[in-house]
Amino acid sequence: MNQQTYYLSPKQIVTPAGIMKNRHLLIENGLISEITDKPQENIPRHNIADSTLAPGFLDLHIHGREGCDVMDASRESLDVISRSLARHGIVGFLATTVTDTWPKTLAAFKNIGEAYSGSLSGAELLGAYNEGLFFTKDHKGAHDEQYFLPLDKSYIDAIITASNGALKVVALAPELPNSDEIIRYLSSKNIKSMLGHTAANYEQTCSALHAGACGGVHVFNGMSGIHHRDPGCAGAVLLDNNAYVEVIADGIHLHPAILDMIVRLKGQAKIGLISDCIVAGGMHDGQYKLGMLDVTVKQGIARTKSGSLAGSTLTLEKAVKNMFELTQADLMQVIEMVTLSPATFLGLDKELGSIAIGKRACLTAFDPHFNVTMTIVDGRIVYSA
């Protein structure tokens, strides 16, 4: 179905004004046109009476799925990832790189740049996220330190050029030389800096945030944690009111009590649930690659040979379910963490992130068990259970 006119008739609709029951949402020309209790009889209607209709989920940190990786540097791989994400309620994503050789890195960004201006068959490609290269070995996680590079403007410029306008986020370790200068440079290019895979202390992190860094990469994971005499990188991004934190809510990366602490400290507007999913997402347990490193997946948990967690096999509807069940956040708050919060972070909140008249019809429907029943991108049904 393309961008035609139709109603969606769910059990309830999550809107900025609250959860509306017994309403019908009209989609016209790819936009949200009306929310009404009296639908016109002559317009087709999709009855999804068991489902909650929410704004479309956004995954701003995802490496791959179903045997395909962003580092494959192929349009086909991005399309497989896009279709796979649509089955899990994702309407938009940032294709995220990992530390690899410099030529492979540039090839991956070039591929993202070429796909960015075209349409994929499922979730929309919202841009590129550079996770890798500019880290330190102390909290390297699933990044191969032999390919780390100095935080130099020439490398940044090469990535910007290769991605052809698609680069939205660069992750970096703030203790690296020139970090504050590079953060300011990225800000001048309208590119977000996120802090991660770092041994930076509280003061170094605060300096980077003051320079314009936006927050923490998968908070607590791959960074100095909170000690009572050194609040660390985690403490700095959690206590800074403006800092945005990525959260992997798979029940493995973070203890439920820590998830609840993050909610209490940050509030839903500064939390972005991410999958950090790798090539093994949607696949059986076994041996996989993440960049140049071998990864073993057992019971859905991905680890390197050294035992470090290597991304995840998480899907965002499961992250939503976990946050709803494991923390004090209510449904509207948790939904905001995968919709309006990431949309605002990317500066796309005028068109995405909430259900409102005139916004793009990018929507996710899910049943009472948080299973996705329908995903819609610009009025086009890209997945229906």
What are the tokens at 43? 């317009």
In sequence order, the 6+-apart residues with CB closer than 8 A to the CB of 229 are none
Q: Which of 179, 171, 201, 314 is nearest to 247 (CA)?
A: 314
Q: Is 79 a catalytic residue?
A: no
Give 278's strand partners: none
276, 330, 367, 378: which is the annotated catalytic residue?
276
51 burial type by CB count under 10 A (0-12 exposed, 13-18 middle, 19+ buried): buried
Coil, helix or strand at residue 25: strand
Q: How far apart are CA 359 and CA 260, in angstroms?
A: 31
Name residue, tokens 């009025």: 379
Report the amino acid identity of residue 253: H
363 and 8 in contact (C-beta within 8 Å)?
yes
Residue 219 token pair: 């908070």
* Residue located via tokens 């995840």: 312
Measured between its terminal Cα atoms, the distance across the chain in Å is 14
- Report the distance separating Cα 86 and Cα 381, nearest Å: 10
Per the structure block, which two tokens stand in for 317? 């509807």
- Map residue 152 onto helix, strand or coil: coil
Q: In what order do the strands lie in the sheet with 301-304?
A: 286-290, 293-298, 301-304
Please, what's the largest Cα pairwise distance for the chain? 67
CA 41 to chain centroid: 39
Catalytic residues, by residue number, are: 276
